[in-house]
Structure 1
């Protein structure tokens, strides 16, 4: 019964609440907050650790950050994007004008990533009331070394902080955005990325000093002056003075009394290899941060394959950190609202759905190379269509295609031989066309049917991943996490059935639209093999995405000494809590392709008509879709080149596009 559910905590984390004094398990005073801020500030100036931090932060800073509408109302999404200076996913393709005031996301992200250095990084938000709305105008950093006290609430969340500044009152938690790295229990100061490197850093700098002294002392050898046989104490003292007075210089020299002898003796015997030891310490400092690829040029072993493995592993860790930053910025930490949720709550209340900050191009997407595209085309997974050509030209900064002059009045080429320029739509506006309500309803019904069956598939795939993660962690082979894989056959079968049924339904609807305009059309069969191939590809992509998310979570949780079963269980919990947005988008895109296949199959069998682009079904229309909406195509081939895969090829929303081609016969 619900009344028997526990509603109060019995135990506590580790601080017994009140004032936080530092990590209770830290044994080194210099690494206990607040002294740790000074220590880590010194450590980050080390050349090797500076490189490690740059390797972590720079790819995250240059990644693609945006606001994902996630089904929220447009006005909510727009305010959030405006206040943070971020583009809206699927809508804003080009950078906007320069931002002169307010929050600059790039600057805020750079400062938020200081949580990797110091373990935590708090910010205080400030609003301005504009036209009755609370608009975010500043996210002021509160540097860790300025914080004197962290007051905790009864549940050991942050209640407020006090800075070491005169006449500054405590800052309550509801005004704070708190980024923390690897927090455990009530340790809101987190764990710096540099913490495991402290021992190597300390020894390295001590070795530096000793090595510099040895070079200065023994670089020219040790001078010695021998007094003659039977020398008096005064002569021995004079020999000592002469030896100690020797200096290196262009005009340096020495004059010796009769019978005295000068010798410069270098070091004899073996000495410790200081430079080798320093290189070893540098490797340990990069290894603790999974940045082993930085040392491949300084090690005895290395290969391209090893470098690729290191890079893949490193990118997974970067994606995990970037996702944590995005999650904190969206929903915040315990007792401290996120940036986005606070904006939405202040302006629309806590029941209003809030969009999310998302980040891509850190490690979630593999690099698309010319060789990879060639293999995909050769295997049949991709076809060299205009959209792919446009992507390749944009990715490699190639010029746009220009068509050579043609002889007048040549015979009309077959549809598959038409060039990209010939298939471009003409900017002629036409009537709105038939009602597409039934088209949307059948697509939504098919999507709901697949999503209803998907939890069972996802559960089976999570189980497969859990087994692989447990084995990898128990074997200590964390590199195996980069090769996680799941079976996508069941998902492909379910999706293929739904796509085929929707294609047949769409063909019936297209034939009905023609019949309503007085044009009878015999319904042709749909291309089942083509739809099945799309289903296999989409299911494989979703499976690969789930495996990547599992690897990133396992990488974060597989601390030294962790049990494989425990890590696998936690990863399953993380995967279970993931949003279904990726599945919804990819499945929806596949169903759109099936719908287009059915409609175009009928149009190819029907008499010639006027073909018009319609974006009425789009929930949020991007600029290219707004421009194409209502445009009349030259012919069916041109319409199919633009919408043949179920979405407008230039749509910024990709698989979310719900654009259609409608046919109008006899000017109706």
Structure 2
């Protein structure tokens, strides 16, 4: 077998060493670094400004998120937190406003300048917080500030040097490099405006000529004729009178006897300057596939033509957005992406990294009321609660006063379908015939009980949080005054009171859930008394959750104290500032963890009743999820083989494969056949 090639013979370009320009570019003003100034002038043209806005604004408005892609929750959360992006399928609502660190919307706006200048580099900066490298800045390095691009032997970027003598070269491993239409070693790319250069240059020349012609000939040319036999002095006077005429509201002229005034306009045909300018504008939009911008200014056109233009344009936008997302995730050759570098620094190069993804930019058509009506009329769609919820959310309509219930699942066929490949949980989907409404469980009451328990805990939480901050402040003040930095890593919190609060709420909810499950059975003709709740497991979960929340707050306090404890700082002052930082933290983590613990208690109460009840059909229901991830959509409606299989999937109050983790509100419902 022939040996595999391990070394290059050819090369990308002949630019090895100091990069000096695109060898194929023949216009000096479009060769970097002069191109940065030229494109800066071009983007102020009204037509090109509209073209760039048509490209960038839909991409900036699109839905950007971090796709877990099967990665560990800890890794995904770190990336999402540092970039200020939601997690796909987990964060349906926008999070709190970011006051510091990277703002993705701002970074995306600047990254899209690569369309204007051809490339756009950024320099990343980290802070070490709690032993982790946290991304705090992506500083733009504007193309016009870069004096030199140094290439490595393989003609990838090795470093850049800015036009400031005091600034040392920035190595490639610190750069995020967005480039549009790169070819070979041309790391400055190709601007979206490059094909419009000729039209832009001619247009501005025609502008100047047209403005001059209007100014010179717009009101005609005055002439004064001297009387027959005029003397040279009279002819000179006629010339003076004609030259002195000015246009104005009070303009007038007085002439000597025998003199005659005439204002003569242009005769014959003249070039159509405005038509030529419109032609040049159309060429500038056409080169960017933005022909739909000119449909109102052309002699022909139709709605079908406009739709075709729009489809092609949206596909081009999606392609550019995907390039931005891919660069932000994995970077360019020799320059790591934002995500991969962040994961490598904190978890090592072998840790799988999530991806930044973008949707709604040409990937799907806008859903209109007309489109929905046609789809339902043709039978391609049927009205259901999920569709109604989507429509209400998409068009910001109010929720129903009485939530619509999903049709209850049906008895399976006599021979159930085999389990899906790779799915350990059984077995078949429900049949097509609806069951009696009396068998439908009241999941609204289940959600209300859970929400009431959560509200009770959160109402009492401020007092616990204040006590925790007080405990931490005393330890921080002592450590700073003693100059013992190591002591800041040993901060502890007594979480006993929080554990007791949570345990009481969990036990009460478990008992309520058992009663609700018993009522669901009774509604189907099955009588079963709620059994006593096993308290030991729920109390252990409460202790663990309280300890996790306390440890998280202690870690945040330690990180803030390490940053503020500069030499000579007073311990009390540092402690006060750290307490203020902690007080400003969002309660989202508390809500998620407490909500997850309450879901565990709710599941414990329901399953305890099912274990004492006659055998039933056990189904997965994701009706209570506000936003359902793909695994939960797949399990929704599945009929389990038995209660053990159902408990393996939902025993802790959430579907085990849910991407939302503790936020999952999936339930096990039971259907008893009455024959």
User: TM-score surpassing 0.5?
Assistant: yes
In structure 1, the residue corresponding to 2:316 is in which secondary structure?
Answer: helix
Residues 632 and 657, structure 2, Cα contact 8 Å, conserved in 1? no
The residue aligned with 1:478 is none
Structure 2 residue 444 is matched with structure 1 residue 424: yes
For 1:168 and 1:75, locate their aligned partners in 2 and report how far apart those are by CA, in whole Å.
36
In structure 2, distance between residues paired with 1:57 and 1:300: 28
Query: How far apart are 1:402 and its partner, in Å?
Result: 2.0
Whether the 8 Å contact between 2:339 and 2:354 is mirrored in structure 1 is yes
Q: Confirm or deny: 8 A CA contact 2:441 2:669 kept in the other structure.
A: no
Tell me, yes or no, if structure 1 residue 135 matches structure 2 residue 134: yes
Deviations 1:342-392 (A, max 9, x none): 011111111110011001111112211222222333333332121111112
Asked if 2 retains the 8 angstrom alpha-carbon contact of 1:296 and 1:302, the reply is: yes
Contact 1:83 1:102 in 2 (8 A): yes
Q: Deviations over 1:26-68 (max 9, x none)?
A: 1111111000000000000011111111111011111111111
> Which of the pair has more CA radius of gyration?
2
Whether the 8 Å CA contact 1:49–1:286 is kept in 2: the answer is: yes
Q: In 2 relative to 1, CA 418–187 (structure 1 residues): closer, same or farther, beyond 3 Å?
A: farther
After TM superposition, list the pairs within 5 Å mapping 1:154-553 onto structure 2: 154-403=153-402, 424-426=444-446, 427=449, 429=510, 430=513
Paired residue secondary structure (2:108): helix
Match of 1:618 in 2: 657
Matches within 5 A, 1:99-138: 99-138=98-137
Structure-2 separation of matches of 1:390 and 1:253: 73
Distance 2:255 2:108 in 1: 69
Q: How many Å separate the matches in 1 of 2:148 and 2:610?
A: 76
Separation of aligned partners in 1, 2:82 and 2:220: 67
- Indicate if the aligned counterparts of 2:15 and 2:185 stay in contact, CA closer than 8 A: no
Q: Distance in 1 between matches of 2:615 and 2:274?
A: 86
Aligned counterparts of 1:301 and 1:622: Cα–Cα separation in 2? 56
Q: Distance in 2 between matches of 1:16 and 1:416?
A: 76
Note if contact 1:92-1:622 (Cα within 8 Å) is conserved in structure 2: no
Indicate conservation of the 8 Å contact 2:69/2:355, yes or no.
Answer: yes
- Pick closer, same or farther for the CA change 1:379–1:597 going to 2, 3 Å: farther
Aligned to 2:54: 55
Decide whether the 8 Å contact of 1:128 with 1:136 is kept in 2.
yes
Partners of 1:516 and 1:417 lie apart in 2 by: 24
Once the two structures are superposed, residues 187-222 of structure 1 have per-residue CA deviations (whole angstroms, 9 ceiling, x without a partner) of 000000001111111111111111111111111100
2:672 and 2:652 map into 1 onto residues whose CA distance is 11
Give the corresponding residue for 2:150: 151
RMSD, matched Cα? 3.2
> Within 2, Cα distance between the matches of 1:14 and 1:66?
36
Q: In structure 1, how many angstroms separate the alpha carbons of the residues matched to 2:397 and 2:669?
A: 30
Residue 632 of structure 2 contacts residue 658 of structure 2 at CA under 8 Å; is this kept in 1?
Answer: no
Shift in alpha-carbon separation, 1:371–1:613, aligned structure 2, 3 A: farther
> How far 1:401 moved relative to its partner?
1.3
Q: What's the counterpart of residue 539 of structure 2?
A: none
- CA shift, 1:4, in A, is 0.7
My pick for the range that moved more, 170-179 or 240-249, is: 240-249
Q: Structure 1 residues 225, 420: closer, same or farther in 2, change over 3 A?
A: farther
Change (3 A) 1:115 1:520: closer
Q: Structure 2 vs 1, CA of residues 364 and 418 (structure 1 numbering), >3 Å: closer, same or farther?
A: farther
Deviation at 1:131, TM superposition (A): 1.4
Q: Is the 8 A contact 1:146 1:164 kept in 2?
A: yes
Distance in 2 (CA, whole Å) between partners of 1:84 and 1:518 is 49
TM-score (norm 1): 0.66
- Structure 1: give runs of 5+ residues left out of the alignment: 405-413, 434-513, 524-584, 604-610, 631-659
- 2: CA distance between counterparts of 1:115 and 1:271? 41
CA distance in 1, matches of 2:36, 2:366: 37
Does the CA-based 8 Å contact 2:66-2:86 persist in structure 1? yes
TM-score by length of 2: 0.65
Work out the number of aligned pairs and report it. Answer: 474
Q: Which runs of 5+ in 2 are unaligned?
A: 404-433, 450-508, 518-608, 618-628, 644-649
2:444 is paired with a residue of what secondary structure? coil
1:14 aligns with 2:4: no
> 15-24 vs 372-381, which deviates more?
372-381
Over 3 Å counting, the alpha-carbon distance change for 1:99 and 1:7 in structure 2 is same
Q: 1:236 Cα deviation (Å)?
A: 2.2
CA deviation profile, 1:431-482 (whole Å, cap 9, x unmatched): 7x9xxxxxxxxxxxxxxxxxxxxxxxxxxxxxxxxxxxxxxxxxxxxxxxxx
1:93, distance to aligned residue in structure 2 (A)? 1.4
How far apart, CA to CA, are the structure 1 residues paired with 2:76 and 2:256? 92
Residues 110 and 274 from structure 1, CA distance in 2 versus in 1: closer, same or farther, beyond 3 angstroms?
Answer: same
- Equivalent residues of 2:114, 2:180 under 8 A apart: yes
